[in-house]
Structure 1
């Protein structure tokens, strides 16, 4: 773990560069300490898979002063026992998903590439609880991991020009829901009727880094009853 200066009021904390629950827990632990100890100085904080991007107020603290305080906190995380950083998840969010073939646009293609049946793909996907590793690409787009290796198929070679809002996709070891209609190259296996972003509430996004996500399969009728569209 090291602190790297990006500009006069911006730094990045780099962790071990891999996707893992342990690193994610360290990222979340450090973010929580920063929120508690350095909130008076921080303008913006963006946690990700294995890094935290920070901007701070130069009117309140100079660059070296902020780095010194930040390095003191990073030492706490580095020296913490694994048990102290393991429980970094914040809340469990359950999301209803219709895994029907009408909305699972790539289910048939995935059966060919994996050798699994549609039922096996669906079962393997929804039986796990996933972690929010990062937010990005578009508002409310949460990068979740990690899917089981048998269904960890790569991104599509040719992205779609438009992926319907609520679509649930897989790309490698990651899975995610498209909060809005947008271009995208993930393999689509289902769709949720749940609205993931609401600009009338604060915060507008349902997810935070560190949250746990559980996908609950629902029937076609339940999907429609909850406001789902085809």
Structure 2
């Protein structure tokens, strides 16, 4: 699948697949690398996501049709399985501490009951997986990760919470995430991470996770979680 969609006066969205998985992610990252090399300083930004790449270009230095031509050429030359084509395909491996205690995991019991296991097994199963970051969005630093182990794949809440605390570790369907800041949210909360995912110092934003990164969760006890700066307030 290849489709180009207008996304504004200075942006183009390129769809490379219909299904988000490891193979598609590798193609997306390979496309990003090639677009950066081909367009260079004509680019303002390149944003990868599940099955697509959005390209922002400098309209004062190029035009829509020229950029489309380059993007089509990149897509035509992109191997079906470009496993070695993307420099960023493997991403960084980041290990994040998570406290799975019941005082910060309001949905853990319901998840455990649905999966037919105890709460401790929910934590062990969740932490046993290596997750990939497929997209960033919703809020600064919010990384959509996959894939959650099959027994833990519960749907979103019927009624979202008005406030989810920063650091809340959440699952919904095949996806996992950590809320980088307090916000409304409808995912199932099973733990809390003390590591900041987003910061902005002197007007310079910094995001810990990037598309393509691999994430592991390391269970920690309550005392270590608090020592790392974790909060227990809701």
* TM-score of the pair, normalised by structure 2: 0.92
Bigger mean CA deviation after superposition, 207-216 or 2-11: 2-11
Is the Cα–Cα contact under 8 Å of residues 155 and 187 in structure 1 kept in the other structure?
A: yes
Q: What does residue 63 of structure 2 align with?
A: 62
CA distance in 1, matches of 2:63, 2:43: 12
1:111: Cα distance to partner?
1.8
Bigger mean CA deviation after superposition, 85-94 or 188-197: 85-94
Q: What does residue 124 of structure 1 align with?
A: 125
Q: What does residue 205 of structure 1 align with?
A: 207
1:25-36 pair list within 5 angstroms: 25-36=26-37
Q: What does residue 224 of structure 2 align with?
A: 222
Q: What does residue 112 of structure 2 align with?
A: 111
Q: What does residue 84 of structure 1 align with?
A: 84
Structure 2: gaps of 5 or more residues: none
1:62: Cα distance to partner?
1.8
1:117-196 pair list within 5 angstroms: 117-196=118-197
1:8: Cα distance to partner?
4.0
1:7: Cα distance to partner?
3.8
Q: What does residue 100 of structure 1 align with?
A: 101
1:26: Cα distance to partner?
0.6
Bigger mean CA deviation after superposition, 20-29 or 65-74: 65-74
RMSD: 1.7
Residues 81 and 182 of structure 1: CA distance in aligned 2, closer, same or farther (over 3 Å): closer
Bigger mean CA deviation after superposition, 139-148 or 2-11: 2-11
Is the Cα–Cα contact under 8 Å of residues 43 and 57 in structure 1 kept in the other structure?
A: yes
Q: What does residue 72 of structure 2 align with?
A: 71
Is the Cα–Cα contact under 8 Å of residues 26 and 83 in structure 2 kept in the other structure?
A: no
Is the Cα–Cα contact under 8 Å of residues 169 and 186 in structure 1 kept in the other structure?
A: yes
Is the Cα–Cα contact under 8 Å of residues 5 and 13 in structure 2 kept in the other structure?
A: yes
Structure 1: gaps of 5 or more residues: none
CA distance in 2, matches of 1:75, 1:199: 39
Q: What per-residue deviation string (whole Å, max 9, x for no partner) do you get for residues 140-198 of structure 1?
A: 00000001111011101111111111000001000000001111010000001111111
1:66: Cα distance to partner?
1.1
Is the Cα–Cα contact under 8 Å of residues 141 and 177 in structure 1 kept in the other structure?
A: yes
Residues 29 and 82 of structure 1: CA distance in aligned 2, closer, same or farther (over 3 Å): closer
Is the Cα–Cα contact under 8 Å of residues 22 and 85 in structure 1 kept in the other structure?
A: no
1:212: Cα distance to partner?
0.6
CA distance in 1, matches of 2:224, 2:92: 25
The SS at the match of 1:122 is helix
* TM-score of the pair, normalised by structure 1: 0.94
